[in-house]
Structure 1
Amino acid sequence: MADMTDISDEARQLEELLDRGFGTGGQGLATALRKAGRRLPRRIRRAGQAVVQAEMMAGHPKLVRQIDRRRLGQEAARLRSYLEEIDPKARRIDMALTILRSLALNALLLGALLLALAHWRGWL
């Protein structure tokens, strides 16, 4: 039974890290991973799914023996190390800069199109 609480505690800590880094809300690790979605690299999503699966298996007395503790520890450590490196403030700044770059490019293309139209119509 102590193993189940260890796995649940680990999952809860990983969920808190996901919430801090991505603002996923507190609905459980599986929901937090689903909300983070493609913002996480594939190997990190898989590591999270392994922890979620182990957490579900830990609730069943016969399935708890099938959990590979070494692999679970490695996957949890991989997920934890990735999530601890995330800086939420830097993520927001990067997202804002990406949006601004996109808007600037669109404005530049629209300006070029208007200049081409003016030249074609003989206004310039």
Structure 2
Amino acid sequence: MQKMTGQISALLEDKLRIRGKSLAVQLRKAGRRLPRAVRRDARYIIQSADLTDNPKLARMVDTKKLKRAHANVVRHLETVDLSAQRRTALLNLIASIAFAILMTFILVLFVLVQRGFV
């Protein structure tokens, strides 16, 4: 169990640059940067880790579901490309600025035409 949480914690730090004392803290900091299904699986892993601390409660953990959740989280985090996300965010910012400038130009031109200056 420690190996699973450690691997996910390391992937969160490497791929998304999210640091924290524990996996729960890292997951809270990640917030909406992770898809809903991945967050749900990571929360299940955290809950299972809490349950496995107690020997009697450890029997309540569904190991198949735990392995599936771990695989889903790891699969998603390994495909994350931080540089591509930054590049996309920069292109979106540039596109929105260009759109605002274009709309301002069209509005000024419309006002000039309506007033008879052009």
Regarding TM over 0.5, the answer is yes
Pairs aligned (count): 118
Could you tell me which residue of structure 1 aligns to residue 38 of structure 2?
A: 44
Stretches (4+) displaced over 3 A:
none
1:31 and 2:25 are equivalent in the alignment: yes
Rounded Cα–Cα distance in structure 2 between residues aligned with 1:20 and 1:95: 19
Q: Shift of the alpha carbon at 1:26? A: 2.8
- 5 Å matches for 1:51-90? 51-90=45-84
Rounded Cα–Cα distance in structure 2 between residues aligned with 1:69 and 1:59: 15
AA in 1 matched with 2:71: A
TM-score, normalization by structure 1: 0.85
Q: Shift of the alpha carbon at 1:48? A: 0.8
TM-score, normalization by structure 2: 0.89
Rounded Cα–Cα distance in structure 1 between residues aligned with 2:4 and 2:104: 51
Structure 1 vs Structure 2 CA RMSD: 1.4
Q: Which runs of 5+ in 1 are unaligned?
A: 1-6
Could you tell me which residue of structure 2 aligns to residue 123 of structure 1?
A: 117
AA in 1 matched with 2:77: L
Q: Which runs of 5+ in 2 are unaligned?
A: none
AA in 1 matched with 2:59: R
Identity %: 33
